[in-house]
Amino acid sequence: MFYHDLSATYLNTPDWHGNYFDILFQRVQQTPYLKEHRDWVEQNEYGMNDRPHHAMWSAIVETMPNIFTALEVGVYRGQVVSLWGLIAKHLGKTPFIFGVSPFAGTNDTVNSYSKSLNYLDNVKTIFDRFQVPFDWFTPIKGMSQQQDVIEEAENYAPYDIIYIDGGHEYESVRQDIENYATMLDKGGILVMDDASCNLNMPPFSQDKGYNRCWAGVQTVSDAVRDFLEPRTDFVHRFAVGHNRVFEKTK
């Protein structure tokens, strides 16, 4: 499995990060359903991240059991949750997908989001566009730090995948790590978005015609360094640009 290749070869060096970013970019370009999904996301402004992350998610979902659970903290318009479903459908797997989000325009010191969009309708739109069953998705509506939201998410735990892409301020990232990382099952995968500023990334560039190796947000990266890296129940496996992949080992 490609996930194990990434994990086994990982080196925190500019060459490794740059080379595998390019390899993953090409894997998306050469996989029609991944390319179509990412093209549509970009054309319709349905998400951020970089094209290689589609191949990263494909590698992760490939490692999942035939029935698996996945939680995204910070859903936006549904790029990642629909992608999980799309990959699972192509692999013949059944996912139970959950999303913590206000499903409304919010802002912090790093990002602001439009208050004119119907975010939950957007999620349904991208599921429908790629013929992913929308009943695979369960929204958990509210801010990720709300106690009732945390408790609802706990009701569906443990998860096989958790992707944290919520608030970008240091304190909110700390809280998301502390509140949600414990909901991951042993052997599960935790992906932290915008988290690679403290790694040995090559300089960000667009020399190859695409955004290459943007490292993320410093406040998020520092919170991951301070509150996730020291934990003994997680191991950092690899990074793809600003997405860092951890595995829960106990």
Check residue 1 and give its pLDDT: 83
Where would I find the beta strands (DSSP E) of 41-115? 67-73, 94-101
**pLDDT tens, position by position, 50-84:** 999 999 999 999 999 999 999 999 999 999 999 99
Query: Range of 192's domain?
Result: 2-248
Nearest partner of 97 among 48, 136, 126, judged by Cα: 136
CATH number at residue 166: 3.40.50.150
Q: Is the pLDDT at 109 greater than 80, yes or no?
A: no
Residue 139 has pLDDT above 60, yes or no: yes
| Whether the predicted pLDDT of 122 surpasses 70 | yes
**Number of domains composing the chain:** 1
- Span 175-231, pLDDT tens digits: 999 999 999 999 999 999 999 999 999 999 999 999 999 999 999 999 999 999 999
Q: Vertex 167, ends 191 and 210: CA angle to 5°?
A: 60
Buried b (16+ CB within 10 A) or exposed e, 47-80: bbbbbbbbbbbbbbbebbeeebbbbbbbbbbbbb
Say which residues have a Cβ less than 8 Å from residue 7's Cβ, sequence separation at least 6.
237, 238, 245, 247
